Each structure stands twice: as structure tokens, then as C-alpha cells.
Chains A and B, each alone.
Chain A
Amino acid sequence: MTTRRPPVDHIVRTRDLYSGLGHDPYRWVRNDGSPPWTELRKPLRECRVGLVGSGGVYRAGQVAFHHRDDISLRVIDTSVPVSELRTSHFAYDQTDARIDPNVVFPVDTLHALAAEGVIGELSPRAYAFMGGIYSARRVRDVLAPEISRRLAEDQVDLALLVPV
């Protein structure tokens, strides 16, 4: 193994890409002050886990994402085989996600962890959207409360978030 290079700075990378399109420099959200904090209320092995992924996953039969700041959600029944899952995303190389959707939406992985007893169960509903939404305001005011409300309705004990 060779020496490790530092992680790719995706803030710099994204700024360069948007500047290349003639946009004003993209400003990433910068939150100062401590993030909110909620303790787990039961052991992990008893938890119902909710999955939220931003890899642009949809199920065959659903409407795919469009690539112009789509902030819509897909409700994914986690009992369907991953062979029915697809991806549609404007920004990342989807080659591997299309071979194995678990790399961005780990449904099989969470089922296996439930079977092992690491978690209680994977929630019957998972949520997918297409990340890279330009407007932080729309995420904060529209998408985030919708996802939060649905996870509460699903009575999940813990949410696993998988961005791309």
C-alpha cells in the first residue's frame, strides 16, 4: 500500500464545477453551533431502523427522478428484491450502483444485519431521493420535514442516512 492521500475536497470540486457553468460560486451550508442530539431509547438489537438514501434510487414501475433540482421522494417497500431497484442521478457515476444498488441503498445489508440480530428490523418503508439539490432552503423547509414526519409515522427507532 502506498501513502494515503487526503480525502477529496468535494466542496472545492463542486465549486469548480458550478463556476465552470457560469454560476455564482456555490455556497455550501455551514452550520455553526452544536448539532441536535437524541439518545437511542433501546438497544440496537431491538431497534427498527429506517433507511434514507440520496443516490437517486427508484423501483421499476415508479417515476424516475428528473435532473433539474428534483426534490421528490420515492417510498421504497424494503421487501422488494434489489434487482427491482434502479438509479437516476445527475451527478455521480452510477455504474456500480446499477450493478449492486446496496452500495448506495443498503437494503440487503440491513436485512442481513437484522437476521444476525445486530438490529431488530429494517423498517418496511425506506425513502429515496436525488441528492445534489441546489437549494438548501428547499431541503430544509420542504424535504427534511417530510422525511422526518414519515420516519416518525413509521415508528423507527433510528435512521441510517446514506448520502451520495
Chain B
Amino acid sequence: MGLIARRVEADGIPTTSLTSALSITRSVDPPRAVFLDYPLGHTAGKAKDPEQQREVVAAALAAVDELEQPGAVKMLPYRWSRDDDWKRETMLGGDARSHRSSSPEYQCEADRALAVAAGDCPTCVFL
């Protein structure tokens, strides 16, 4: 996403990026980023916690006014849990990534039926 941030910003639209992968963000170096130290899959806050999601997203938006140094990263104070054991488990865990196939992977079979019934997908942009 950092490459996209850099392109959009270079084309004249300011960007602000949330991130939960600090080393990647530092390496790809988007113009502005806001770091939330959570397991991947919760970049904008915890599920069913609209108050925290609001604070996280508001912090990302406020970064546009606060950060003045290109490449700066604002650190959010939230913790995922009382201890940080999830970090060790993340590093030690096996490869849970799915098999790479070229067929669409639907969340549920009902979605496949809907997409097939819809036919052409004008809001799908195949590049």
C-alpha cells in the first residue's frame, strides 16, 4: 500500500496510511503513517468497538495536520491485550496462508451464486 500512497501523493492528493506492520511501512516509506500495534486484520481497530475504531481513524486523519516531516510515523498507544504474547505466537506460527489458485475465493457459497447470477461485474476492475 505504501507504493500506492506514494503514487497518489505524487499525483497531488494528500494521503494518510494506517498500518500494523511497522517494519514494512518504514521500508516502503509512505508520506504519512499511523501505527496501531495489533495483529494483522485489525488495522482500523477492534471488531464491534466503534468507539475505538473512531479514535483510530480520527487519529489517522488528524495526522495530516500534525505530521510535517515526509515519512513520519505517528504511534498509537493502544494495546491488543494485557500481555503481548500474541506477538511471539505470530512469529512462531506456521504458514496459514491459503492455497494460490486463480478461481475466485468467496466468503460463502451464496456469494458465488449472487455473482454468477449478476453476470458482468461493472464495479470489478480487472487489471
Contacts and interface: CB of A to CB of B under 8 A. Distances in A.
B100 A146 contact: no
Interface in A48-93: 49-50, 52, 54-55, 58-69, 71-77, 86-88, 90-93
Contacts of A68: 100-102
Interface in B48-101: 48, 50, 53-54, 57-58, 60-62, 64-65, 70-71, 79, 82-84, 87-88, 90-91, 95-101
Contacts of A105: 44
Contact of B95 (A17, A37, A161): A17
Interface in A8-64: 8-13, 17, 20-21, 28-31, 34-40, 44, 49-50, 52, 54-55, 58-64
Interface residues of A, number: 101
Contacts of A13: 90-91
B14 A39 contact: yes
9 contacts: A12-B91, A35-B29, A38-B14, A66-B103, A88-B104, A109-B54, A110-B57, A144-B4, A160-B16
Given A109-B53, A160-B57, 7 more contacts: A59-B123, A64-B107, A66-B105, A76-B123, A92-B40, A102-B44, A152-B11
